[in-house]
Chains A and B, each alone.
Chain A
């Protein structure tokens, strides 16, 4: 909210320097985001600032109030005029093309001079003709324009950084003192304050002034609501019918007759502009001005139009009815849009139909216009939820709707009307009728909350006495009543003044304490009842006391039981392990599309899958929650392979699986990996390395699972449709399948923008895996006996899996075979067609004694025997 300091100063004395004030307001919850200097010098130097600083300074010696006494035609140019201007020191001839001076051209000496913002020779103003995005400045220099000397100017608002207005020059109010530096006359500072929803009560000058008064220890002054009511009584001229007080707790009308539509004074228009509101005419400006000041949005109806509609409907006077819209009802709003109304929209209507969207926007038919003379001024209170829903469905944000959709206290309605009438009378003349028509069927309960200094201690951790608490709350207009109570054994009883009977109870101790009964002021709706109200008051106390003055303490409270988080511990361990194995962690968007994920299956083979789709996706590519982490890592490889040919990544995160009969989808944690490209990075020392394939990934899988000490891991030929059927493994721990991996199916690869290099990928179900990870594991002693090492190569049929050979060797070797490692696989002439040679190195070791050659030879012999008998292999010599 843009807030001119000059306006605030009408209601509260401000002694703090501007930036210090901004800092204090920010700490108290009114965050000052920007400080705009209008005319005043901007702070110098590059020290730190409390907010963004903007603005343009007017040199007090060079930019002053000038008085134009005569507007004369230019001898050589129709579109220019010459002004005889006095600047408090001497007379000047000023040349200008401002169209708003043309009506005075050739009229001779003016009866009352026109006051303008005069920039002397050498003054710096904003270059109004610059096309640049950045503000550019220009210094006024003497030059000849169409044969006439020009060395100074009368400024437009754009030239002084007030607004974008450059159609004409500024014409000040008549009472502006000639020769006074313009900055002294109308310089200002505007705070742009971010108003949080609970501070909606402060979205007005009085609200901000009240906060400033509270935090700086000043008194708040209140606007003058005293209006001379010289007209007839309003009673009988209009009636109000509220059909549902929940929608419309209060509705008040005031009437002013015989107003003259004209512009409001320049200073009023300036203030509105600095507040971000367009100046229209005295009537509209008065409603806006009163709203900005008090926070009560007003609506002005042309009374004659309502009267005419009433008579047409056969009534003597208009009856204004407020009600919810009916489905299908329409209204043409003052922006000339025909609006289809929802049943939650509240309407102001008369006997003939809708007049306005309550609290949001007026209707075109009953609006004040150029010929309006009699104005019926509405101040009301509307249900904030209905207002909010209407704003959303009609897409009609406005200053009024902003306030009503956050809640406006009904007590403000008549105050706003009186203030509005007073301003209209001041700026547009006319006669104010006596009294208001005021229907108030549903006054809010202004909650009363009881608090004690003990509460302040318990919530805030500070010790304040009763006087301090009361003083803080009263500075924000709360009413406080203090009573003395008795507590028994530290328990505060709610029984007032009753003397407790001690009756020999040694342990019973009593004490007095003060209870403060706090009543909410009649301008705010954000204070709750009971313990909620207590919390609300704690915030008020802490804010005004100053968050910065609250000490920093360590929690003295008991520590909770240690629960641990096993799933996360295991995830983090896996992350570390995979990073150690050279994989980069990635985190993908979890919103994707079923079409994108279907690419992980060969075209036409994607199974039907149930997704959790979004109602309101931001784009079709992100229309549902992912079901597959494999799809996520494949997307990442696809996105990177053009940049680098080696990609090795993993991701850990949930997939979202909707289940029939479950309210929410199951969120199942997954691990996915993908590797592609050369095994090592290209460098000058290694001339080309082989591509990573199934076995590289298997090595990663084995190492990572090994690090978790999983027992009984098995690899079986797998059937994951994303992978090459011949190069795919399922991973089991005991009977439980925990994941699968393999080289990407060639038809799947074709679905992605990927090169024809081998890509190996894996997916694991982390919840299944986590459940199987042992908490502890045993460590073997280091044997102090020397090992016996030997190699053994067997030739075997191609289709006997290597794991079968290894298992047989291990089994036969028994306890003394402590290590078995495959170090070569050979196929070729030496072993013959359809055969392969598997070469193993074996380590024999006995935990307690040295093995004899004889013992080792015996084991070896039985291994060879079993390989021959059971697997049809033979020893390779």
Chain B
């Protein structure tokens, strides 16, 4: 009997070895481990086995059954592995074909730069204040210490709006800078508490307009971000600290900046801030005209007349203001040669960002 069991095992294993694909395994299982398989017959016919041999036969048959099952599992796994290996060998695609195109939206480059500026100043406690684009001469110039016929107005030729009435020295115009927002913001805040107005720390982004011939270097509209900080102890050294900090956060943590004396009617002292050219690292290149510096923003201590016009007593309050052009920053960063690209809305430009 034990011999027969040995035969059964051998036959089954021989058959298993011959199987080459997973599909043959089920049939093998039916034949060699199924209900009417030879090994199962051994169990079924146990009654005919002499009593004293039963224990031994039963144990041996069981061992064979388990061995066959194990062999099947092993074979199955081996065939599965072989199948995967074969698939890996055979299934090959041309990975150089382009991927399926997915339409994608983008923010306008100016929006992207504006957001960076917002983020940097938000970190420093500056909130965003927006104001109107059509202004009066009073708000755009006079309250900012540009009296009528002031020479500094020459640099800010305006578009005038026909209001259908004679307005003398207070015509309506398109704001030439976001600075009128300084007055509007300060007046809004001083209205809350005229005797003891709250400190100010705002940035004023928005579209501005100048009467200029359109060229690669100048456009009739451009965005500006202006900043204003007013308080009891705001100093020129705070201005330097805040704006150098801005430069490092915006352009790189090792970027050097320098301040040059300059002139704006609404600040005194006034300065231009240059940052070390981030294209050549300050060594000199065509973009920085070989100076190693890029002119990035104008700034200064808020002129006493402007503070007064906003409702802040210049004997008790001081402040600083600054202004920069997001398009200029964007142009410098990405080597954009023509400012007209910004509002022409050509997708070939916009889709590069």
Contacts and interface: CB of A to CB of B under 8 A. Distances in A.
Q: Are these two chains actual partners, yes or no?
A: yes
Interface of A: 26-29, 31, 46-53, 196-200, 384-385, 388-389, 405-406, 457-462, 531-532, 534-536, 538-539, 542-543, 547-548, 550-565, 567-568, 572, 575, 578-591, 612-618, 622, 625, 635-636, 639-640, 643-644, 646-649, 653-654, 656, 663-665, 667, 680-686
Contact of B105 (A51, A581, A639): A581
B348 A587 contact: no
Contacts of B342: 587
Contact of A618 (B127, B163, B211): B211
15 contacts: A52-B290, A197-B150, A458-B318, A531-B304, A531-B314, A553-B238, A560-B189, A565-B130, A584-B350, A588-B343, A591-B221, A643-B347, A664-B172, A681-B101, A682-B101
A394 to B, nearest CB: 15
Contacts of B136: 663-664
How large, as a class, is the contact surface on chain B?
35 or more
Contacts of B102: 680-681
Given A531-B315, A538-B268, A557-B199, A47 B105 contact: no
Contacts of A458: 233, 235, 318
B262 interface: yes
Given A48-B283, A531-B314, A535-B304, A552 B261 contact: no
A583 B105 contact: yes
A689 to B, nearest CB: 11
Interface of B: 97-108, 110-111, 115, 125, 127-130, 132-136, 148-152, 154, 159-163, 171-172, 174, 189, 198-202, 207, 209, 211-214, 220-221, 229, 231-238, 240-242, 244-245, 258-263, 268-271, 282-284, 288-292, 301, 303-305, 314-315, 318, 342-348, 350-351
Given A48-B292, A406-B151, A585 B106 contact: yes
A675 to B, nearest CB: 10
Nearest to A648: B103
Given A542-B236, A565-B130, A29 B350 contact: no
Given A559-B199, A560-B198, A647 B242 contact: no
A680 B162 CA distance: 46
Contact of A542 (B100, B148, B245, B269): B269
A757 B333 CA distance: 38
A616 B159 contact: yes
A458 B232 CA distance: 9
Given A50-B291, A388-B151, A535-B301, A550 B263 contact: no
A550 B237 contact: yes
B220 A618 contact: yes
Among B99, B108, B199, B303, find the residue whose CB has the most chain A CB atoms closer than 10 A. B108
A552 B257 CA distance: 11
Contact of B127 (A51, A562, A584, A683): A562
A552 B240 contact: yes
A614 B159 contact: yes
Which 3 residue pairs are nearest across A and B when measured between Cβ atoms? A461-B237, A29-B261, A461-B235
B103 A552 contact: no
A548 B273 CA distance: 11
Nearest to B172: A664
Given A535-B304, A615-B160, A565 B229 contact: no
Given A534-B304, A685-B100, 11 more contacts: A29-B262, A543-B261, A547-B240, A551-B240, A555-B234, A560-B127, A582-B104, A585-B111, A612-B162, A615-B161, A684-B98
Contacts of B111: 575, 585, 587
A560 B132 contact: no
Contact of A532 (B233, B234, B303): B303
Among B101, B211, B214, B270, find the residue whose CB has the most chain A CB atoms closer than 10 A. B101
A683 B101 CA distance: 6
Contact of A565 (B129, B152, B160, B290): B129
A664 B159 CA distance: 14
A647 B107 contact: no
A536 B220 CA distance: 33
A473 B56 CA distance: 120
B258 A27 contact: yes
Given A27-B258, A575-B107, A614-B162, A550 B240 contact: yes
Contact of B347 (A561, A563, A640): A640
Nearest to A50: B291
Contacts of A536: 268
Contact of A584 (B152, B236, B351): B351
Contacts of B213: 618
A567 to B, nearest CB: 8
Given A461-B235, A636-B345, A648-B105, A48 B284 contact: yes
B101 A589 contact: no
Contacts of B318: 458-459
A550 B273 CA distance: 14
A553 B235 contact: yes
Given A548-B258, A559-B199, A565-B128, A588 B345 contact: yes
A536 B268 CA distance: 6
A696 to B, nearest CB: 11
Contact of A585 (B99, B108, B314): B108
A614 B221 CA distance: 14
A582 B105 CA distance: 4
Nearest to A556: B233
A625 B162 CA distance: 11
B238 A555 contact: yes
A389 B154 CA distance: 12
A584 B263 contact: no
Contact of A31 (B105, B106, B260): B260
Contacts of A53: 290
Contacts of B97: 684
A197 B343 contact: no
A563 B106 contact: no
B343 A589 contact: yes
Nearest to A632: B345
B262 A196 contact: yes
A385 B125 CA distance: 42
Contact of B235 (A460, A578, A640): A460
Contacts of B304: 531-532, 534-535
B261 A405 contact: no
Contact of A547 (B189, B212, B261): B261
A543 B260 CA distance: 8
A459 B235 contact: yes
A557 B105 contact: no
A296 B351 CA distance: 57
Contact of A616 (B211, B268, B351): B211
Contacts of B314: 531, 535
B174 to A, nearest CB: 8
A591 B221 CA distance: 9
Contacts of A649: 345
A307 B28 CA distance: 137
Contacts of A559: 125, 199, 201
Contacts of A196: 262-263
Nearest to A614: B159
B151 A197 contact: yes
Contacts of A656: 133-134
Contact of A460 (B160, B229, B237): B237
A653 B99 CA distance: 35
Contact of B241 (A542, A552, A580): A552
A684 B93 CA distance: 15
Contacts of B240: 547, 550-553
Given A551-B237, A614-B161, A535 B303 contact: yes
B141 to A, nearest CB: 14
